[in-house]
Structure 1
Amino acid sequence: MAKQKSSSKKTLYWVGGVLGLIIVIGLTLRFTGVIGQSETGKEVETSTAKLKTITQLVSASGKVQPEIEVVIRPDVSGEIIELAVKEGDFVREGDLMVRIKPDIYQAQIDNLNAVLLTQKARLEQTRAALILAKAAYERDKTLFEKDLISEMEYIQTKSEFDSQTASFKASEYQIQSAEAQLRQAKEELEQTVIRAPQNGTVTGLTVEEGERVLGNAQMAGTEMMRVSLLDRMEVLVEVNENDIVNVDFADTARIDVDAYPERRFTGIVTEIANSARVTGSGTNEQVTNYQVKVRIITPHNMDSSSDEMVRKETSEDPEEMFVPNFRPGMSATVDVETQTASNVVSVPIQAVTVRDFAKDESNEDEEADSADIVLASSQDSDLMIKEEDIRKVVFVVEEGKAVRREVETGISDNSHIQILSGLEAGEEVVIGSYRTLSNLLNDGDLVTVKSKISPLN
């Protein structure tokens, strides 16, 4: 009797252990998604394809700078004895800016005046000698024609006349040279006074009164200051070689300046460089960019004709009265609008993924021809490998299943991409999660919509 009870207990323990193990395995498979998936499907996020206007953008960063900026360098060297402006001053064309010590140039003019007077005196001496030589030549010519003097005497008189004529011309040329040197010296004296070449604001003043500056004689002179038109600003950006082909002259641009984070300004492309700027040449980090200038067409800074802010004083809206004050060197980001497609079918960018159709076909062939695997293994392995056939697809939710659709895409903006074919507006497409959409989701899989994101306007 005792043996029967002991055997029954062991049987109960053994059965209980097996049941417990089955329950643990079942729960594990359930939580890992191995079983039970057929009922609920894979959780996905969806959105609706819609008709939308898409504008393709090319983004780049750069600096704000004046569209017109004149660098002021002296033409003559010397000491600055008067500095009539300071940085930030507004000047008009012709206003006095800098005066360089003129003493040495005035002394040079005095010296050249004396040289010119000397040359003129020598010219008169040469003129007198020429008159005398000419009279002797005409006299001897008459005598020689009458055979009253020898030919040698006539030749000597003629040579003297020719020599005096040449000396007279040389004296005239020396006077012209002295006059040219004098004009140059006077111009250099005038260049000791530097005036504003245009209306604008003084920016980048780098000299002080009493400093010596180098003129533009044989090399670039000392940069003293710059005169800029601050009411005509632009953004200089560098666009990557992959994007520059999409940028055209006169393209509209959106400009964000770091100094005004809550405002956006309008610009237009005015210049596209033809030569590249290469950094990191010969290394793995080589970058090829092209400079693009974008004019800021939103009213800004000062009106140089009236020295007043360009404001719509009659407007009651503070936003309309606002005029930004841009300064050279401010950081800015530019989004150039390169292409626009109106009222086209579009989906969120993340909805479009890629699949290797050659791999899918290979899997189907393997299932259909499993009986021929042994024979195929004897063939050259290269013949068994098919080339990749990568295509763009979206997954459409139809009756609780994910249906794969091959699509052709067009341009895109920061959030949406244009669908040229393969999808209609109003269809529900899978947009996430990324792991599910890129790797796990297959054609025909059951899906459960975790959340549906409403399309933005």
Structure 2
Amino acid sequence: MSNRTKLIISILVVAGISLLAYANIKYQRKETVSVRTQTVVRRDLVARVSASGKIETTRKVDVSASISGKVIHLPMREGDMVEEGTLLFRIDPTQTQTLVTQFQAGIRSAKTNIAVAEANQQQAKIEYERQKTLFDRNVIAEDLVQRARSAYEVEIARTNGAKEEIVRLEAQLKNAVHDLTKVNVHADISGVVTKLNIHEGENAFVGTFNNPGTVLMTISDLNHMEAWVEVDETDVVNLRVGQPAEIIVDAYPDTVFHGVIDRIGNSPITETGSNQQAVNFEVVILLTDTIPNVRPGLSCVADIITGTRRDVLSIPIQALTVREPEDEKKNADGDDDPSTRRRNRAHEGIFVIEEDRAFFRHVTTGLTGERHFEILSGLEENSDIIIGPFETLRTIKDSTLVEKNKGGKR
């Protein structure tokens, strides 16, 4: 073989090798997936439950009238501070005073009737005794004695009836006098008049149970406030009395107020005529901070802290994905046994990068923070994991070549 032939063969071999290498590189580039990655580190986690609601006072009194009548004196205005025992308003006492006067007169008249009844009773007694003496002497017939005794018993009954009338009238007088004390309505607690539904000259009517239309004013103790929030059914099971909370009032968006859970509702909130599917429970948070110029009804948002972890392994929430076990894939067409399906249920895990390839690793998660999951097992610190894109995490396979892009925030 000549030197020229050998040279040509060498050139062709080198060209073939180069072509194969180029094709291989081209193929690998085609099969390589670009991913965003992040290094697993330790951090502090805080789990929160967010809920919206209103600021309310821990103690308030709805004031209603105990008797009906015209309001003739109303010194209070909405927003006024009142002390316990302060006169709030006065109802016209004319009608009640008239009843008192009538019952007093009725009692005096009844006492006169008693005196007359007692005199008639005494007279009937004398007549009965006289008739009885005559009968004992065989002077008169027995029927005359019976008539006299009957007349005497009638007068006794009349006297007793007159005395009972006194008792009845005195009871009515006592009730009228008590009603007379109700014309002056005083504050039962110290606080602020937060609602005023009556004006001087208007008629007040006796309040009925659970009828907001008969509430004339509301006095609230603003020294102790609560946040009443509605928590979703999926979150309320994680709440406990005493858990801390951070409250942001819409009127003070840059200030965080603190509190603790005081009460957790046991029954869902129901709204009349509502067809909503969401089920919420009322949670009451006692504020430990003072809100300046607070008013009941202010809108707020509460972040309830349900758990904290210090210096734990964690991953971004978006890094966690789900894969079916291989056994389930193999038996998808054959085994319908429920126990097998339970054993083969989908695994939660993440994709770890080793030697430029992605490998699925099953992990056990713990606390859920605002943007991270706590990792209890299945992952080591400083591992590189895939955190996106979402579509890549959903479709990527084991051993896929990847190209790292450190775009994720820690």
Q: Tell me how far apart the structure 2 counterparts of residues 60 and 328 of structure 1 sit (CA, whole Å).
A: 18
The Cα of 1:394 is off from its aligned counterpart by: 1.0
The Cα of 1:400 is off from its aligned counterpart by: 2.2
Q: Say which SS state the counterpart of residue 36 (structure 1) adopts.
A: helix
2:376 pairs, out of 409, 420, 426, with 420
Q: Tell me how far apart the structure 2 counterparts of residues 47 and 167 of structure 1 sit (CA, whole Å).
A: 104
Letter in 2 for 1:224: L
For residue 45 of structure 1, what is the aligned residue in structure 2? Answer: 36
Q: Tell me how far apart the structure 2 counterparts of residues 278 and 88 of structure 1 sit (CA, whole Å).
A: 32
**Further displaced range: 385-394 or 75-84:** 385-394
**Pair 1:396–1:163, CA change in 2 (3 A):** farther
Q: Tell me how far apart the structure 1 counterparts of residues 145 and 406 of structure 2 sit (CA, whole Å).
A: 122
For residue 3 of structure 2, what is the aligned residue in structure 1? Answer: none
**Pair 1:98–1:400, CA change in 2 (3 A):** same
1:69 pairs, out of 60, 68, 76, with 60
For residue 9 of structure 2, what is the aligned residue in structure 1? Answer: none
The Cα of 1:202 is off from its aligned counterpart by: 0.4
1:357 pairs, out of 318, 325, 328, with 325
Please list, as runs of the form range in 1=range in 2, the aligned pairs for 1:13-412 lying within 5 A after superposition. 36-37=29-30, 41-135=32-126, 152=143, 155-216=146-207, 220=211, 222-279=214-271, 285-300=276-291, 324-358=292-326, 361-362=329-330, 383=334, 389-412=345-368
Q: Tell me how far apart the structure 1 counterparts of residues 209 and 258 of structure 2 sit (CA, whole Å).
A: 44
The Cα of 1:279 is off from its aligned counterpart by: 4.8
Q: Tell me how far apart the structure 2 counterparts of residues 124 and 217 of structure 1 sit (CA, whole Å).
A: 44
Taking structure 1 as the reference length, the TM-score comes to 0.74
C-alpha offsets along residues 205-254 of structure 1, whole Å, 9 cap, x if unaligned? 12222222222379946322110011211111111222222222222211
Report if the CA contact (8 A) 2:207-2:215 is conserved. Answer: no
Q: Say which SS state the counterpart of residue 383 (structure 1) adopts.
A: coil
Letter in 2 for 1:417: F
Q: Tell me how far apart the structure 1 counterparts of residues 350 and 47 of structure 2 sit (CA, whole Å).
A: 21
Report if the CA contact (8 A) 1:69-1:228 is conserved. Answer: yes
Report if the CA contact (8 A) 2:208-2:214 is conserved. Answer: no
Q: Tell me how far apart the structure 1 counterparts of residues 177 and 394 of structure 2 sit (CA, whole Å).
A: 79
**Pair 1:84–1:158, CA change in 2 (3 A):** same
**Pair 1:217–1:417, CA change in 2 (3 A):** closer
Q: Tell me how far apart the structure 2 counterparts of residues 270 and 136 of structure 1 sit (CA, whole Å).
A: 81
Q: Percent identity?
A: 33
The Cα of 1:136 is off from its aligned counterpart by: 5.2
Q: Tell me how far apart the structure 1 counterparts of residues 238 and 223 of structure 2 sit (CA, whole Å).
A: 29
Q: Say which SS state the counterpart of residue 172 (structure 1) adopts.
A: helix
Letter in 1 for 2:314: S
For residue 15 of structure 2, what is the aligned residue in structure 1? Answer: none
**Pair 1:453–1:115, CA change in 2 (3 A):** same
Q: Tell me how far apart the structure 2 counterparts of residues 329 and 113 of structure 1 sit (CA, whole Å).
A: 49
Letter in 2 for 1:449: K
Q: Which runs of 5+ in 1 are unaligned?
A: 1-25, 301-323, 366-380
The Cα of 1:414 is off from its aligned counterpart by: 1.2
C-alpha offsets along residues 326-373 of structure 1, whole Å, 9 cap, x if unaligned? 2222111112222344443322211211112248843xx9xxxxxxxx
Q: Say which SS state the counterpart of residue 88 (structure 1) adopts.
A: coil
Q: Say which SS state the counterpart of residue 242 (structure 1) adopts.
A: helix
Report if the CA contact (8 A) 1:279-1:287 is conserved. Answer: no
Q: Say which SS state the counterpart of residue 98 (structure 2) adopts.
A: helix
Q: Tell me how far apart the structure 1 counterparts of residues 130 and 240 of structure 2 sit (CA, whole Å).
A: 84
Q: Which runs of 5+ in 2 are unaligned?
A: 1-22
Higher strand fraction: Structure 1 or Structure 2?
Answer: 2
Taking structure 2 as the reference length, the TM-score comes to 0.82
Letter in 1 for 2:222: L
Q: Say which SS state the counterpart of residue 67 (structure 1) adopts.
A: strand
Report if the CA contact (8 A) 2:349-2:362 is conserved. Answer: yes
**Pair 1:454–1:175, CA change in 2 (3 A):** same
**Pair 1:449–1:133, CA change in 2 (3 A):** farther
Number of aligned positions between the proteins: 381
